Amino acid sequence: AQTVTQSQPEMSVQEAETVTLSCTYDTSESDYYLFWYKQPPSRQMILVIRQEAYKQQNATENRFSVNFQKAAKSFSLKISDSQLGDAAMYFCAYEGIQGAQKLVFGQGTRLTINP
Amino acid sequence: DTGVSQDPRHKITKRGQNVTFRCDPISEHNRLYWYRQTLGQGPEFLTYFQNEAQLEKSRLLSDRFSAERPKGSFSTLEIQRTEQGDSAMYLCASSLAESTDTQYFGPGTRLTVL
């Protein structure tokens, strides 16, 4: 079974600074998808960024980018120019390409932005 | 285009009562997922529908839980004889049956069992 591990329960960063959230995963599959989801205090889960495992290029969405290291099974999220609205729980998630394609989530990292 | 909606947003019940939650997916999304999230944890998969067919159930889904999606549109999740351990946020997500499509989540139903 696939597992996802987020080793940082909490992180904090000064507004306008850069922060990196870590994620590692375990799988025997060669093709899959990886996601970062954001869950603000209102609790609605919002997609931040996705990465296809077959793509070597790291995904980027505005201030959000990932560092995908397939051999190391590592998938970190970098947030540049942090804003107060970035404060939330961040979940790393894995999705296989077979069957139900259900998401397997990590435990989450609570990100605090200090003004 | 409205997002995924869930009803109710909050439910408080007494132990032993039955509860039912509803999820309306994004229109034309033929895949629908239910997840459970306990405090401080990531969501865990419960069950999955493609159209009206329930194709996979997690071991977390005990016999007291049942889910339906009768016409391939909205879905219901019923918990019978609720226990305090059922207290959690129940999340619904939907996606298209494409190999690369993203799951979009609803706001969740928070269940508290007293």
Give the model confidence (pLDDT) of B44-91 as tens digits: 999 999 999 999 999 888 899 999 999 889 999 999 999 999 999 999
Structure tokens of A94? 């894995």
Numbered residues of chain B with Cβ closer than 8 Å to any chain A Cβ: 31, 33, 35, 40-45, 48, 55-56, 89, 91, 93, 95, 99-100, 102-108, 110
Beta-sheet pairing, B75-79 with B53-57: unpaired
DSSP B40: T
User: Where is pLDDT greater, at A39 or B97?
Assistant: A39
**Are A105 and B103 within 8 A, CB to CB?**
no
| A65: enclosing H helix or E strand | strand A64-69
pLDDT per residue as tens digits for the range B19-44: 999 999 998 899 999 999 998 899 99
Please name the residue that has the structure tokens 């994004």: B26
Residue B104: name the closest of B56, B33, B50, B47 by CA. B33
**Are B43 and A45 within 8 A, CB to CB?**
yes
Classify burial at A22, counting beta carbons within 10 Å of its beta carbon; exposed 0-12, middle 13-18, buried 19 or more.
middle
Residue A45: name the closest of A96, A103, A100, A98 by CA. A103
* Set of chain B residues whose Cβ sits within 8 Å of the Cβ of A98: none
Predicted confidence (pLDDT) at residue A15 exceeds the cutoff of 70: yes
Predicted confidence (pLDDT) at residue A41 exceeds the cutoff of 90: no
pLDDT computed for residue B100 by the predictor: 65
> How far is B89 from B108, CA to CA, in rounded Å?
6
- Using DSSP's 3-state secondary structure scheme, residue A85 falls into helix
Q: E strands along chain B, which residues? A: 5-7, 10-13, 19-24, 31-37, 44-50, 53-57, 65-68, 75-79, 88-95, 104-105, 109-113
Predicted confidence (pLDDT) at residue A31 exceeds the cutoff of 60: yes
**Are A52 and B40 within 8 A, CB to CB?**
no
Structure tokens of A30? 């060669």
Least confident residue range of A19-28, A74-83, B50-59: B50-59
* Set of chain A residues whose Cβ sits within 8 Å of the Cβ of B31: 101
